[in-house]
Structure 1
Amino acid sequence: MQPGELKPILTALVLPPTGPLLLALLGLLIAARRRTAGLALAALGIVVALALGSHGVARLLARELLPPVAPAQAGALREVQAIVVLGAGVWVAPPEYGTAQPNEAALVRLRYAARLARQTGKPLAFAGGVGWGAMDGAETEGSVSRRMLQEDYGLQVRWLDDRSRDTEENATRMAELAGRDGVRRIALVTDAIHMPRAAAAFRRAGFEVVPAPTDFPRPEHNPVLEWLPSTPGLAACRHVIREWLGSLVARATH
């Protein structure tokens, strides 16, 4: 097993719901010897698990833990040499399509990148291979996204990285591919929560980055439902905490 393959495993153990539920389980084990302290810890784990399933909490965490991100400005986009979009995963075998497709998060990024490419006339670049947690034999994000952009939008990808496995590799591989053609100033397309870490990685790789974020954290339900646990709320909290932890690790190692 390569070291990188441990990342999705450790992440799954730390992030909600597993992390808080493991905390609650630990509390129940401690309660066998120290009842009050153990039950208090178990209750804390359950409360945290419920809170981290809320979309409102995800937005609050994003505001408090991550740097603010603003939409791209048209003037800045006119000065870039390329639109670089990052992958987010694939649906391996959707029966209605018959071939692998970008997942929901990737589709949001690809659609926005296609829009920017048409508005600015700048060439497209894509970065994404097979993630550390992907199934063996999965088609690369690069080949899946290139096919979708061509078939659904009529757009060609000029620089394609289909080997990188995480954000740091996205940046270094794209520097090798587009850098040889003199590309230095790019518009970077990813979701707003991922943007601070991604932009930092591409700057370390030598790019001048104009952030072009999409999929901003925003209210999605009425005020009551926004603060109740839900599947989208849990996914949003996981994403925010994952990016915050990833940023801490990146700052500690660079």
Structure 2
Amino acid sequence: MFFIASKALWFFAAPSALLMLGALIGAAFSARRGGQLLALGCLAVLLVIGAAPTGALLIAPLENRFPAPPGSLPPPYGVVVLGGAIDDEITRARGQTTFDEGAERLTEAAILARRYPSARIVYSGGSNSLLGRPSSEAEDARRLLVAMGVDPQRITLESRSRNTDENARFTAAIVHPESDQTWLVVTSAYHMPRAMGLFRKSGFAAIADPVDYRTEGGRSDWRLNVSLPRGLALFDLAAHEWVGLLAYRLTGRIDSWFPGP
């Protein structure tokens, strides 16, 4: 129920979607002054959010929360890679692995598998479709990792999860983490605070390995956006994570408002 509610609510509550809806409603009532003001106001806010560095400034604290693991890190017991790196529908249609945003999750998994030859590799990702469409992402990820030289005997798949909460709980049910086992968690940097809170809650002695950065982490993040769609997408992404942290804390799924190192 939590999964369905969160997906349905966000479909209508994404900031850019709400503003576009407001602009359309205002346009529909443009014969009235209130409608004109609503349409112009929503369009102005869309323009500001898209052009200004609002999204970058919102997402930077998320990305900067967990540093990359040190090179001197002792070999971990295992590596958990969160899904979202493969577009399984296009992959099935074209017969060729097609990356979605977040492809660095899989390339990092291959690098870590080579760096830590005894570590267990777990790929966690199922379908997040509200229509219940099956997902082949985990199997696609296994085939790709094997093609990149990872021993298939080292790879464990968790293919039922639909969100990050289920990533953590379902993976824990498969691998049964123990307190003396160190696990690296690989996901996009902006997503890492929520993921770490959930994996810790599920019993993992987790260390973050953030990838797929969307900001540079310096003054350059204050630049205006050349691409308005990119600026809006970055703002929506940041808002989704901050709202997700709030919702997960209020429902007791994580133990702190902003999980950190």
* Structure 1 equivalent of residue 205 of structure 2: 208
Change (3 A) 1:129 1:55: farther
SS at match of 2:68: coil
- 1:17-96 to structure 2, matched below 5 A, reads 17-28=16-27, 35=33, 38-54=35-51, 56-63=53-60, 68-76=65-73, 78-88=74-84, 89-94=86-91
- 1:205-244 to structure 2, matched below 5 A, reads 205-219=202-216, 226-244=224-242
The reply on whether 1:179 has 2:188 as its aligned counterpart is no
For residues 225 and 180 of structure 1, the distance between their equivalents in structure 2, rounded to whole angstroms, comes to 43
- Give the TM-score of the pair, scaled to structure 2: 0.80
SS at match of 1:93: helix
Structure 1, 183-192 or 5-14: larger mean CA deviation: 5-14
Contact map agreement 1:55 1:232 (CA 8 A) in 2: no
* Structure 1 equivalent of residue 4 of structure 2: 5
- Give the TM-score of the pair, scaled to structure 1: 0.82
Structure 2 stretches of 5 or more lacking a match?
253-261
* Structure 1 equivalent of residue 243 of structure 2: 245
The reply on whether 1:109 has 2:105 as its aligned counterpart is yes
SS at match of 1:126: strand
Contact map agreement 1:199 1:209 (CA 8 A) in 2: yes
Paired-residue identity, %: 28
Counterpart amino acid of residue 231 in structure 2:
G
SS at match of 2:199: helix
* Structure 1 equivalent of residue 144 of structure 2: 148
Structure 1, 184-193 or 18-27: larger mean CA deviation: 18-27
CA deviations over 1:44-81 (Å, ceiling 9, x no partner):
321232334358332111135776232221233x2521
How many aligned positions are there?
247
For residues 225 and 6 of structure 1, the distance between their equivalents in structure 2, rounded to whole angstroms, comes to 36
For residues 249 and 116 of structure 2, the distance between their equivalents in structure 1, rounded to whole angstroms, comes to 33
SS at match of 1:17: helix
Contact map agreement 1:23 1:42 (CA 8 A) in 2: yes
Contact map agreement 1:83 1:189 (CA 8 A) in 2: yes
Structure 1, 80-89 or 224-233: larger mean CA deviation: 224-233
* Structure 2 equivalent of residue 170 of structure 1: 167
Where do 4+ consecutive residues of structure 1 move more than 6 Å? 180-183, 222-225
Structure 1 stretches of 5 or more lacking a match?
none
For residues 71 and 192 of structure 1, the distance between their equivalents in structure 2, rounded to whole angstroms, comes to 9
